[in-house]
Amino acid sequence: MRVLLTGGSGFIGSHIALLLLERGFDVVILDSYANSSPNVINRINTYLDKNDLRYKIEIINGDIRDKKIIDNIFLESIKQSKNIDIVIHLAGLKSVSESLNNPLHYWDVNVLGTLNLLLTMKEYECYSLVFSSSATIYGLSDSVPISEDHKISPINPYGETKVAIEKMFFDLYNSNTNLWKICSLRYFNPVGAHPSGVIGEDPVGTPNNLFPFLTQVAIGRQKLLNVFGDDWDTKDGSGIRDYIHIIDLAEGHLASIDYLNSKESCLEFINLGSGNGYSVFQIITQFESSIGCQIPFSIQSRREGDVAKCYADISKAKKLLGWTPKRTLDQICLDGWNWQIKNPNGYR
Ligand code: NAD
Ligand code: UDP
């Protein structure tokens, strides 16, 4: 089976790529390297070679906004009698603050990029799609756990672009309910790394997110962790989130492919999280105990746009996809740390 994986050299995409290749899929990666390094692909190749695995990978360096490039991928595939069977679409921009400063860029890359892709898929009669949506579309609600029928009310342009894309899926699916097969996966907080330490999360500049910041404090790249608020309405006053091991998340995509293959047509919006909520203090304590270190931290005021609690109801993913996250918070800390210690400066 041939998969087009957009954004395949990014944090999430690289882990999905590795799993797909290990399981015998023929993978075409389209990435502009706007937020990733070509080294990622070398790492994946080296890992698979070392494990004596045969694999089929093709890399296209290009921008999702350039429709000709997408057209060409489908055209070349047909010429080689290796049609693209399914698309996993992750290419896009994901920084909330950047989206507030430069909203049009986010609409351009995320929404227009997706529109281009859907137009080409339609032209070449490829109707199966797995998409990377986000829990950010649920907005400022604290009513947890969050299920898929929760109110959609994004509070920043990044979230708005994900909602617009989901609306596009809705209209497209309803235009012919016998044709399209789409899973829009709403990720919560993907963290950790591949257990080998060959690939992991490598944010550009100072990390915005808790987990990469924490591992950078542990390795000495950051002095201390700022805890954004200890006065939230939670058991210890710090914010609660749903951290899911990146390999569990990647496995959710393989389960989605199986699900789409079993259907004549469908459109499903599905949460992918661990289903558990952990506070910032719980994460610090678990990380310290997993790797045996002390994390210096300082309490700061609340971060704008944060909520007290956000974690997923994952019963739909369990039921539809037959998928359950298997890895513990301890495993997340160990694998995240293993990646950080083996790659103190990421891919650089
Ligand atoms: P990432 O930035 O590591 O990966 C995105 C990839 O897309 C990068 O390799 C980047 O170079 C590529 N890209 C960006 N613009 C492109 C363009 N115009 N053309 C082609 N490629 C382009 O991010 P990630 O964490 O792997 O996220 C992947 C997807 O999952 C994104 O769509 C993101 O919105 C979504 N998501 C991520 C999270 C998270 O916490 N990481 C949570 C929810 C949803
Ligand atoms: N957080 C923190 N310090 C940081 C980064 C994040 O205390 O340096 C907190 C943040 O306020 C939230 C939780 O950690 O309660 C998770 O934040 P992250 O940005 O990783 O995920 P998101 O809030 O986008 O779900």
How do beta strands 181-187 and 266-272 pair?
A: parallel
Q: Which two tokens stand for residue 223?
A: 């002095």
Please report the atom of ligand 1 found closest to the CA of residue 136. Answer: 43
Between the CA of 7 and the centroid of ligand 1 the distance, in Å, is 6
Identify the residue whose tokens are 């609600």: 141
pLDDT at 137 over 90: yes
Q: Kindly state if the Cβ of 192 falls inside 6 Å of ligand 1.
A: no
For residues 55-67, give the mean pLDDT.
97
For residues 310-338, give the mean pLDDT.
98
**Mutate-to-test residue for ligand 1 from 132, 188, 189, 269, highest number of ligand atoms within 8 A of CB:** 132
How far is C-alpha 262 from the chain's CA centre?
A: 24
Work out the mean pLDDT of the chain and round it to a whole number: 97
Q: Which two tokens stand for residue 36?
A: 């990733």
Give the 3-state secondary structure of residue 272.
strand
Q: Kindly state if the Cβ of 36 falls inside 6 Å of ligand 1.
A: yes
Give the 3-state secondary structure of residue 48.
helix
Q: Kindly state if the Cβ of 109 falls inside 6 Å of ligand 1.
A: yes
Give helix 113-123 / helix 67-79 axis angle, nearest 10°. 30
Question: H or E segment at 103?
Answer: helix 103-106
Q: Kindly state if the Cβ of 286 falls inside 6 Å of ligand 2.
A: no
Residue nearest (by alpha carbon) to ligand 1 atom 14: 92
Concatenated DSSP letters of 161-197: HHHHHHHHHHHHHHH-TTT-EEEEEEE-EEE---TTS
Q: Kindly state if the Cβ of 63 falls inside 6 Å of ligand 1.
A: yes
Q: HSE of 202 in the Cβ direction (CA atoms, 13 Å)? A: 27
Identify whether the C-beta of residue 288 lies closer than 8 Å to the C-beta of residue 295: yes
Q: What is the pLDDT of residue 101?
A: 95
Classify the C-alpha dihedral 4-62-9-181 as positive or negative: negative
Question: H or E segment at 343?
Answer: none
Between the CA of 2 and the centroid of ligand 1 the distance, in Å, is 21
* Distance (Å, whole) CA 74 – CA 123: 9
pLDDT at 149 over 90: yes
Buried b (16+ CB within 10 A) or exposed e, 124-150: bebbbbbbbbbbbbbbeeeebbbebeb
Q: What is the pLDDT of residue 183?
A: 98
Residue nearest (by alpha carbon) to ligand 1 atom 3: 10
Residue nearest (by alpha carbon) to ligand 2 atom 19: 209
What domains can be seen in the chain, in order of their start residue?
A: 2-342 (3.40.50.720)
* Distance (Å, whole) CA 24 – CA 22: 6
Instruction: Give the rounded percent of residues in the chain with a pLDDT score beyond 70.
Output: 100
Q: What is the pLDDT of residue 141?
A: 83
Cis peptide before 190 (omega within 30 of 0): no
- Ligand nearest to the Cα of 241, by number: 2
| Rg of the chain on CA atoms, in Å | 20
* Distance (Å, whole) CA 185 – CA 272: 6
Between the CA of 162 and the centroid of ligand 1 the distance, in Å, is 12
Q: Which two tokens stand for residue 333?
A: 């800390």
Between the CA of 142 and the centroid of ligand 1 the distance, in Å, is 26
Q: Which two tokens stand for residue 240?
A: 């609660």
* 227-277: pLDDT as tens digits: 999 999 999 999 999 999 999 999 999 999 999 999 999 999 999 999 999
* Distance (Å, whole) CA 283 – CA 274: 14
Give the 3-state secondary structure of residue 254.
helix
Q: What is the pLDDT of residue 305?
A: 87
Q: What is the pLDDT of residue 266?
A: 98
For the entire predicted model, the pTM comes to 0.98
Q: What is the pLDDT of residue 171?
A: 98
Amino acid identity for residue 340 in this structure: Q
* Distance (Å, whole) CA 131 – CA 242: 20
